[in-house]
Structure 1
Amino acid sequence: MNATKYIILLLLLPLLFGCSNDGINNNNRYLPNYGFSVDINMELPLYTNLQFTGNPVYIDQAGVGITGIFVMNTGGGYVAYEATCPNQEISECSGMFLQGITAICPCDEAEYNLFNGQSTEKEFPLKQYRVEVVNPSVIRVFN
Structure 2
Amino acid sequence: MRTLKFLPFCFILFSCSNDQGQRNPYLQEIGFRFEVNLNLPLYSPLTNPGNAVYIGAQGVGIRGVFVMNTGFAFRAFEASCPNHSPSPCSTTQLEGQTAVCACEGYEYSLFTGQQLSVPQDGNRYFNMLEYRAIQSGNIVTISN
Letter in 2 for 1:83: A
* Corresponding position of 2:118: 121
SS, match of residue 48 in structure 1 = helix
* Corresponding position of 2:138: 137
* Corresponding position of 2:24: 28
Q: CA deviation at 1:116?
A: 0.4
Distance 1:62 1:90 in 2: 15
* Corresponding position of 2:67: 71
Distance 2:135 2:98 in 1: 23
Larger Rg, first or second structure (1 or 2) = 2
- TM-score under structure 2 normalisation? 0.79
Distance 1:27 1:59 in 2: 24
Letter in 2 for 1:140: T
The equivalences for 1:42-57 within 5 A come to: 42-57=38-53
SS, match of residue 76 in structure 1 = coil
Q: Percent identity?
A: 44
* Corresponding position of 1:111: 107
User: For each residue in 1:89-129, what CA deviation from the matched residue of structure 2 results, as whole angstroms up to 9, or x when unmatched?
Assistant: 11111111011001000001000010001113061001100
Q: CA deviation at 1:33?
A: 0.7
- TM-score under structure 1 normalisation? 0.79
Distance 2:23 2:112 in 1: 16
Q: How many residues align?
A: 117
Q: CA deviation at 1:68?
A: 0.3
**Runs (4+) off by over 2 Å:** none
Distance 2:38 2:57 in 1: 15
Cα root mean square deviation, aligned: 1.1
Q: CA deviation at 1:53?
A: 0.8
Distance 1:78 1:87 in 2: 24
Instruction: Give 5+ residue unaligned stretches, structure 2.
Output: 1-21, 120-124
Distance 2:23 2:96 in 1: 27
* Corresponding position of 1:61: 57
